[in-house]
A and B are shown apart, each in its own frame.
Chain A
């Protein structure tokens, strides 16, 4: 082996097999996260060094198979063909070996150089599985390495085997015997592909293409048609139909059966399950956690603890960040004034840059804790149960149980909520959930409500007012979700078929890494938008040159007055309308905007000023509008990222604005009729 040669390897595996733990163990947690080009699926890459070899490790999306059913499966498949990894490490959950080997077999059929990491062998052993690793390896014809990734056991051997496999000569592609009925048909199609689509045949293997054609794999059909439309339409199509004569529309199922049959034979010979109580610990926990009466209360208690962790544990950090920011603003402001900087420069540094960084940093402790809490829920296995428990309710509005989790996260921050919609398998459900989650008031909006309600009402009434806003938001979430599912993105309800991974204790390292990855992503995607929005708002508020910051003469003031006719029917004055513009950068900025616009410092004084300027009804309508109108710029950016389209991000902006206006207007009219 030549030194310093870089090897490309890929990690494949079903969800819930500890794939990211293996990835972390291999790459030491140093990883680069991005998206697959042009896709909204996360891509993780890392580097692994061993002796003199350097490996570029790509973590493929977790999938159960390599069909063309989902984006994740296509990405995994394409990477193996196009990225030509020298070795594909397939992580197999040892206690779910039969199911997990389905992906392994498909990888092998595709011609990948597979090394199997038989993960969580300790759990499998305790559950009564006795696996003859050598026999398994011999029968499959690929190396099999037992690992316990969360204890970093077996990783060294896995690296050694990978290195060896990378150097070894490629074997002949593995074949599944599809039986005496189908094999001649496959051969027939194979021959045609070899004759007429040579390039594709060299890349994918003619047999693999033939098998996929019979399975009516849409992507493969498209590829071949592109290469030679004549051959496909005139010849291949006929052969495919011919092959389908035997099993009809069940042909693909029959072929899957053959693969499972092959796997079943191997498992029978290499795995023994000694009698072990059939009710596992996880089942016992599930008896309680998914109980039809206890399930939802338990869910609510866990969510309560979740937010306790996020906000109570986060508070000291938030205070530190706030103080540090205040101090920094003061320090730099004074320095700049002393050094004779123009007021504009001082204002830019303090109200522009420091405020911008502040908008990002103030919420960072809570966001990071939110991500830690989510990681804990996911890694422990509870997340799947939360979806289970909520399925009954969610199915009534036509959505999936999994849609509920992002909505709960949205109470903390809408950005991670939209990011969490990735767990949904159905693309339409994913979009709908991303679109309706911003209607849920995030912690920044709650801060605004507490402030305004506190200005007008006694504490108990104020609390009830804020609570009424939360209820209103939930009602609207249900309503819009229902309407979107019915009219905007109609489609059959996504089937509720989901794996319930066994409960396990999350590891500290795994949880922190998991949370850190996402926090980084948050800073990268949302942070830059929040920061730039603050700078932009500062520009609008500071210019033209002689305007007082944020006054009616400033651009933002002018803009506020320009759009005032839109808000006038709701009873807002220009200050309210300008404050809402400020709020687009980050919702909590609405309060500081009031401070600027009224020229009042200090929370108490500002509350008094507002209480004098507005009627309680005006204040309530303003809160309703703040609750529902356009999510902050970071949320819009993340909706764009997750839906991969400006169209949907634009739709989110438009519909939330329209909804906010309509609901505010309606409440105002009702209040007027009732004589308030």
Chain B
């Protein structure tokens, strides 16, 4: 089976994916870890527009706002 691995930002609204790589900056990783955003977490893009942050659903509940820069550094495996 072919799996597509790409930055989170490239997903479309409504798409689901699994996190395979976190952003690399210390502070970014820290915030991610705090909010429960870790490897293997399941994410779904709730809202994405042409500019501004994204809204993602994490592990089936809760909503996180994610800056575009951060979303570009998180690598996910499409489902």
Contact = CB atoms under 8 A, between A and B. Distances in A.
Given A65-B34, A253-B33, A499-B64, A99 B59 contact: yes
B63 A499 contact: yes
Contacts of B32: 497
Contacts of B57: 278
Q: Please indicate which of the listed interface residues B23, B39, B57 has the most CB atoms of chain A within 10 Å of its own CB.
A: B39
B61 A69 contact: no
A607 interface: no
Interface string B51-75: 1110101111111111101100000
Contacts, number: 122
Nearest to A425: B31
Given A64-B36, A384-B65, A495 B27 contact: yes
A496 B71 CA distance: 9
Q: Please indicate which of the listed interface residues B28, B33, B58, B66 has the most CB atoms of chain A within 10 Å of its own CB.
A: B33
B9 interface: no
Q: Please indicate which of the listed interface residues A63, A295, A387, A495 has the most CB atoms of chain B within 10 Å of its own CB.
A: A495
Interface residues of B, number: 39
B33 A65 contact: yes
Interface in B21-35: 22-23, 25, 27-35
A23 interface: no
B58 A99 contact: yes
Given A99-B36, A253-B22, A290 B55 contact: yes
Q: Please indicate which of the listed interface residues A495, A497, A499, A501 has the most CB atoms of chain B within 10 Å of its own CB.
A: A497
A646 B62 CA distance: 40
B35 A495 contact: no
Contact of A391 (B31, B62, B63, B67): B67
A179 interface: no
Nearest to B29: A253
5 contacts: A65-B34, A96-B62, A129-B61, A253-B38, A425-B31
Interface of A: 63-65, 67, 69, 95-99, 102, 127, 129, 253, 256-257, 260, 273, 278, 282-283, 286-287, 290-292, 295, 384, 387-389, 391-392, 395, 401, 425-426, 492-502
Given A67-B34, A96-B62, 18 more contacts: A64-B36, A65-B33, A69-B30, A99-B59, A257-B39, A283-B46, A295-B52, A389-B52, A391-B52, A391-B67, A392-B51, A395-B67, A495-B31, A495-B70, A496-B65, A497-B37, A500-B55, A500-B63
